[in-house]
Chains A and B, each alone.
Chain A
């Protein structure tokens, strides 16, 4: 109980401190100095572009992951091959290996391809490589459920073709898991820093990249206000993820 209280304070005080500091006229003076929205306005004018960029990037990342990952997850759930575990291990490597290493590797391989290196698609590709294992894992374990196999079999004996079964029967049946996977990918992409810091250029900055920049060069109040904006973007996503996670768990048991 005591440990829980201490840990809770350790976790929550810095969060509360940074939320409050974003509104304070001066962090040094504290609450007595009064409150203001100026810092938020300043952040939006200096870094506003990064918010839209990150949201757009994360959205496209989710879409790309779905296109590549869902068919792959299906194949993984239905194939019987001893190479399958090697394959799964391989595509999970970008999560097991630090983002810094993946970032370095991408720059070494594609740094000279200017049009690619200097566009957001460079960061997008990095985010997709990093997030795909999470999506594939969540979706393939949903596809593996036993009642889904019988459902698929029933649809087949009734004469449904592969695409008909896949789109009409399987996808709706695992919809909550797909939503959970999408939210997870979105949150991971919005918050990714280790990889993105290497892949970014001055013209392709994301929210966490802007945050790091403001922490290094701006006043504490401004960094706090910027963190506040990050919260506004990510917290709804994380809360819906927890909510959807509970639905999936209640319905299928973990």
Chain B
């Protein structure tokens, strides 16, 4: 009796893996090996540039801080909207859900542009505040604009995930809690939160990792708040400082990968994306 079902031989299955493995090795593993080896030319200390250079350390902590806040805010808002959409029935609910999840695969540049239209020098908000007599208020090019754009960018994923998760929540538990006299906040804390915890962990990790690596949004806003992907890009294209750009990319890639991996281990979720 073969270890493999349906008379499949191991060699046949290995042949099936071969094309992708070759492609992946040539165009991802090999290039990334180059990238990882590159900082060594500038001495071993180059690998720790993100910790030892105070400017890059500041950029890194800014990026981590911003991503953490964006993740928290997105999870709260996305959770509230997702639970609401999962439990209410109204005309146009499905249309609203599909509109809200539409920006899921928009490039970040478009989101950046949205906030220029809204909060830029010729933006809608500037027009409104000018009409109110408090001058032309702009927020697109600073930290607040970047924050809003990042939240906008990750909300569709959170809404889609929470709607699906809330739809499959056990309604009987909640009924039981309610008949036993639990308050709304009690139900939220003791019934909803535990059931949604794996979703929150998995979705939070993806949002955090995406925010850390978001390049298009920050690039379009040309923000005066520098985030790590922009530093990497500048070191590479403007200063041709390849070893440093590689070192910073390694640090960034390690962080996003470890966060995603850890979240998957803890939530027991097998989905890697």
- Is there a chain A Cβ closer than 8 Å to B172's Cβ? no
Cα of A176 to Cα of B172 in the assembled complex, Å: 33
Partner of A7, one of B20, B28, B81, B209: B81
Partner of B273, one of A92, A211, A242: A92
- Is there a chain A Cβ closer than 8 Å to B80's Cβ? yes
Chain A residues in 8 Å Cβ range of B250 = 101
Partner of A108, one of B14, B34, B88: B34
Cα of A17 to Cα of B123 in the assembled complex, Å: 10
* Known contacts A105-B35, A125-B27, A197-B215, A97 near B19 by CB under 8 Å: no
Stretch at the interface among B50-58, B97-105, B182-190, B191-199: B97-105
Instruction: Map CB proximity to A onto B37-48 as digits: 1 under 8 Å, 0 otherwise.
Output: 010000000000
Partner of B253, one of A92, A98, A235: A98
Cα of A12 to Cα of B257 in the assembled complex, Å: 32
Chain A residues in 8 Å Cβ range of B225 = none
Partner of B246, one of A11, A95, A104: A104
Cα of A1 to Cα of B28 in the assembled complex, Å: 46
Partner of A105, one of B34, B84, B159: B34
Instruction: Map CB proximity to A onto B143-184 as digits: 1 under 8 Å, 0 otherwise.
Output: 000000000100110010000000000000000000000000
- Is there a chain A Cβ closer than 8 Å to B272's Cβ? yes
Cα of A110 to Cα of B214 in the assembled complex, Å: 24
Cα of A13 to Cα of B85 in the assembled complex, Å: 19
- Is there a chain A Cβ closer than 8 Å to B69's Cβ? no
* Known contacts A94-B28, A104-B232, A133-B273, A72 near B108 by CB under 8 Å: no
Cα of A197 to Cα of B222 in the assembled complex, Å: 15
A100 touches B27 (CB 8 A): no
* Known contacts A14-B118, A129-B27, A153 near B20 by CB under 8 Å: no
A4 touches B85 (CB 8 A): yes
Chain B residues in 8 Å Cβ range of A76 = 17
- Is there a chain A Cβ closer than 8 Å to B271's Cβ? yes
The chain A residue sitting closest to B102, CB to CB, is A238
Q: Report the contact-size class of chain A (Cβ under 8 Å from the partner).
A: 35 or more
Cα of A208 to Cα of B105 in the assembled complex, Å: 12
B102 to chain A, nearest CB (A): 6
B70 to chain A, nearest CB (A): 14
A102 touches B107 (CB 8 A): no
Chain A residues in 8 Å Cβ range of B15 = 71
What total of chain B residues lie within 8 Å of the partner, measured CB to CB?
Answer: 89
Cα of A190 to Cα of B105 in the assembled complex, Å: 9
- Is there a chain A Cβ closer than 8 Å to B268's Cβ? no
* Known contacts A67-B19, A215-B109, A230-B110, A100 near B272 by CB under 8 Å: no
- Is there a chain A Cβ closer than 8 Å to B260's Cβ? yes
- Is there a chain A Cβ closer than 8 Å to B124's Cβ? yes
* Known contacts A17-B118, A102-B32, A211-B113, A191 near B80 by CB under 8 Å: no
B249 touches A100 (CB 8 A): yes
B112 touches A137 (CB 8 A): no
* Known contacts A28-B122, A102-B32, A108-B242, A194 near B38 by CB under 8 Å: no
- Is there a chain B Cβ closer than 8 Å to A63's Cβ? no
- Is there a chain B Cβ closer than 8 Å to A79's Cβ? yes
- Is there a chain B Cβ closer than 8 Å to A56's Cβ? no
- Is there a chain A Cβ closer than 8 Å to B223's Cβ? no
B24 touches A211 (CB 8 A): no
Partner of A93, one of B5, B27, B209, B257: B257
Interface of chain A residues 51 through 105 with chain B (CB within 8 A) = 67-69, 71-72, 74-76, 78-80, 87-102, 104-105
A108 touches B35 (CB 8 A): yes
* Known contacts A17-B114, A71-B16, A108-B246, A187 near B32 by CB under 8 Å: no
Contacts A98-B213, A109-B30, A153-B5 supplied; 5 other A-B pairs, CB < 8 Å? A14-B152, A93-B28, A100-B232, A165-B6, A211-B113
Chain A contacts to B: CB under 8 angstroms: 1, 3-4, 7-8, 10-15, 17-18, 21, 27-28, 30, 67-69, 71-72, 74-76, 78-80, 87-102, 104-106, 108-110, 125-126, 128-129, 132-134, 136-137, 149, 152-153, 156, 162, 165, 187-188, 190-194, 197-198, 208, 211-212, 215-216, 220, 223-224, 227, 230, 234-235, 238-239, 242
